[in-house]
Structure 1
Amino acid sequence: MRVLVTGGAGFIGSEYVRQRLRTDPALRVTVLDSLTYSGVEANLASVAGHPGYRFVRGDICDPDVVDQVMAGHDAVVHFAAESHVDRSIEGAGPFVRTNVVGTQVLLDAALRHRVGRFLHVSTDEVYGSISEGSWTETSPLAPNSPYSASKSAADLLVLAYHRTHGLDVVVTRCTNNYGSHQFPEKVVPLFITNLIDGRSVPLYGDGRNIRDWLHVSDHCRGIDLALRRGRAGEIYHIGGGTEVSNHKLTGLLLDAVGADWDRVEYVPDRKGHDLRYSLDDGKIREELGYAPQITFAEGLAATVAWYRENRSWWEPLKAAAEPR
């Protein structure tokens, strides 16, 4: 199989590429990534010499680049996205451009080149907030941030290309990911690296916001199941099965690094901060045999250890992002 992976130098995309090339020697993967601030080509260093790997630097919003790269591929796995909620609140433009227009450009090229399957990676945030219970794949979309609104629009475009043009598409929606190689603006790597450096960590509001945590390698296993065995035109939820409040998560990270609560700085809550996300992932479990393999305790411990051991990876990224 020849697979085009957009955003393959990012956190989740690079894990998918590393995982799939490690487990399927016959696979041929082309990574298309524009290497914006959170795309790190070093994330793919371990597969750079693999005979089935090719890297193309390019923007998914550029129709000419996408058309050239799309040719000859059997499937697309579309990770490329602007994904940081805080940045979307500061300015929605890049989110609409990349997440909506970029997806449309890819869909047009996939249709033109008769790609066999287009898998679109989305998020639980498209549903808004849920106080109790869990969303199913048929729950209505009710996004509350510019980021989640742009992802909702992209999801609907993907599904529309299936219904209108007959393009074979699958949409996956996941819960909060964590693991190695995550850009240190997201809560888990931000807190770990700040604590390692002896700095404080910012906890929004009272920390009551609840998220379900999914190890990135489990997420990628779920994506591959959906790519290979999912039904065309369907949505599949991929969950981790561990709901944790931000306050509890902070405590776990403090304990893991050996720090006290005096390192926590309570900051004003994020605008439109959703209280709780929860996905019912029974569909992918029953249809495709998905089940997370990494417990939250072991996954979090391994993540903390990775950031301890890979300062040379994250320190330059944090330094570049610091206000000047």
Structure 2
Amino acid sequence: MQDKTQAAQRRGLLRGAAAIGASALLPLGMARAQAYPERPINFICPWPAGGTADASMRALCSAAGKALGQPVVLENKAGASGMIGLKAITSARPDGYTIGQVPISVTRFYQLGMTTVDPRKDITWIARTSGQTFGIAVPANGKWKSMAELVNYAKAHPGEVTYAHSGLGGATHVGMEEFLIVAGIKMRDVPFKGGSEALQAVLGGHVDILVDSSSWAPHVESGKLLLLSTWGEQRTPRFAQTPTLKELGWDVVTDAPNGVGAPRGLDPAVEARLRDAFRQAAASEEFKRVCAQIDAPIMYLDGPQYQAYAESVYRKETSLIERLRLKELMKG
């Protein structure tokens, strides 16, 4: 009888120890997530230094670092229209210490086979932050002073005019090709790794026109470049004298919002921490000031809403790819 009693006591002690051990595991995991971040966070920008995307992301990282209590250190990984950097983000460990800018063009590039990153399952969406003001700029001392003059020249000289953009299949490339179809003209595209390189090619006289987000802005204000049109729904306040493509009669609108993402499999507590930090960063005066300087409208969405937006864009891109025959265009 005594042996049975002792055995029962031992079993009770073992069950108690197991229960204590199991209860201790959960708080430990939660404590680790709550302690995040314990070191600097690497933020990958998939565009070169010196461009508008680089400028806005640096301001965003600075503000997010203040909210997180650790530096968010930007690293430029340019190339392949932003897909090299995106691959580096999504292939990193999902520990919250490698995140980065996720261009909405991933929805198109995945369908075109330019990346293996599936936006529907390979990304933890953190926040949509801002859009871009795209425009067509030409040397101020050049032959065109308006969109009408440029279009008329292109009609008379099909394929002669060259335009610089920041990468095949990107927003500037696709937006311009859509415009060319709507306008019924042909031009030759010249791709670069980013807007900064495209800008220098036009300033150097190597390419006729620049199609980019507002890397052209300071050069328009200094008189070196002439802004012929912008691509938004409305005129941009900084260049209110410049008409949009839409108001000139070409129904093309491109604003290409982008934001922040991380690898899939992120701890929910870490994800929540990042979402809160970048919500604060997107609302900061520091980020707003830089966005105003580069004419980037704030278009904040929280992670789940940004994911839903990306899924809707994916569906729209499917029809756009077919309408513009993008697969054939990319092969050519």
- The two structures have a TM-score, normalised by structure 1, of 0.28
